[in-house]
Amino acid sequence: MTAHPPAETAADFSPDDDLGAYLLAAIDDPAELTGRLCAIESVSGNEGTIADAVVTVLEAISAGPGPDLEILRDGDTIVARTQLGRDERIVIAGHLDTVPVEGNLPPRRIVLETGEAAGDEVIWGRGACDMKAGVAMALTAASALLDPIRDVSWVFYDHEEVDAALNGLGRVSRNHPEWLAGDFAILGEPSNASVEGGCNGTIRVDVTTTGTRAHSARAFMGVNAIHAAAEVLTRLSDHVADTVTVDGLDYRESLSAVGISGGVAGNVVPDECRIAVNYRFAPSKSAAEAEGFLRELFTGYDVVVTDAAEGARPGLDRPIAQDFLTALDAEPAAKLGWTDVSRFSALGVPAVNFGPGNPLYAHKSDEHVRVREVESATRALMSYLEKG
């Protein structure tokens, strides 16, 4: 990897510039490339510009000394895949969008003076951690890869940070599932450049208590639905979350009230109260089983499912996944949050999370990623793709 001179900002372009060329100029330096990707604002719903630039980069890579790439596009989701006839295929994916900007663009390359990364050079700015560093890792690896031991599908997708119904990876899995076919998938979500296998599932429900409306001056004439919510909250606080071992990894579950609403006016005893509950369940359970557990826990109350997503088993028992752990000399951990590895799992493709960046800084105003972590993660990925 060639070290480019660090820029105070990476926003040295205008809307009229060739953004594909702007990215290609740093293709062999994943840290610099991270900053340049961040400089192209791509809040969810505004991924068109960055998607166009990534297509230009992939076309240039395909024309280079490495293997040709078949480039496919659905909206602002791009798939570029080798067709070398190898026995196995790796899918490497990352999303192009970010959450809204909080005064953290243009990006900067700086040395942190405080915090757990004090003294480290970082790329600071919206998307640096989640997950343009992972996208840069993938693009640099795609450019450098000359003779992979397995076929590779590179996937860059839109709308990850918003409603799941808009997710580009989900859209492609519905419209073109064959584009995502593979034997193993790596999602570049920030994981401190360590391997996090599978993910917990998630389900949200509204638990409703009911009462009888009355004037608050004559509260004895009514039944207060908010007071009745105390029993629901007690059941939640008394619950002891399980830790479930799945394929050798320990998935800690959690069950929480995440919202409560009720009341009509300041002088009315309310006749309805809703408690929003979120259950993060181990991937050994299905969403239907998680729903059944919640309905049993809240027996006697109206329970309505508002959102649910399956978890994903890590699939680390497969040789192709073990090769990845060996190449990285990594000890895997369970992914406790939900990620798009679940979408690959639903297609029968075991998947892990592996990307530079501390997820604790994702979506924060001081979002950043360490330069050395972007570089080391890229080297590790290259080692796996070249040697297995």
Tell me the catalytic residues: 97, 160
168 with 94: CB under 8 angstroms?
A: no
Q: Helix or strand or coil: residue 381?
A: helix
Pairing of strands 243-246, 249-252: antiparallel
The owner of tokens 């993060």 is: 280
Q: Nearest-CA neighbor of 93 among 200, 184, 201, 194?
A: 184
N-term to C-term CA, the chain: 21
Structure-token pair, residue 309: 């997503």
Residue 95, beta-bridge partner list: 157
The neighbour count for residue 339, using CB atoms within 10 Å, is 22
Strand stretches in 68-112, DSSP E: 70-74, 77-81, 89-95, 108-111
Residue 4, beta-bridge partner list: none
Which alpha helices (DSSP H) does the chain contain, by range? Answer: 19-24, 30-39, 48-62, 133-144, 168-175, 225-238, 287-297, 319-328, 341-346, 371-387
Q: Nearest-CA neighbor of 275 among 227, 219, 338, 241?
A: 227
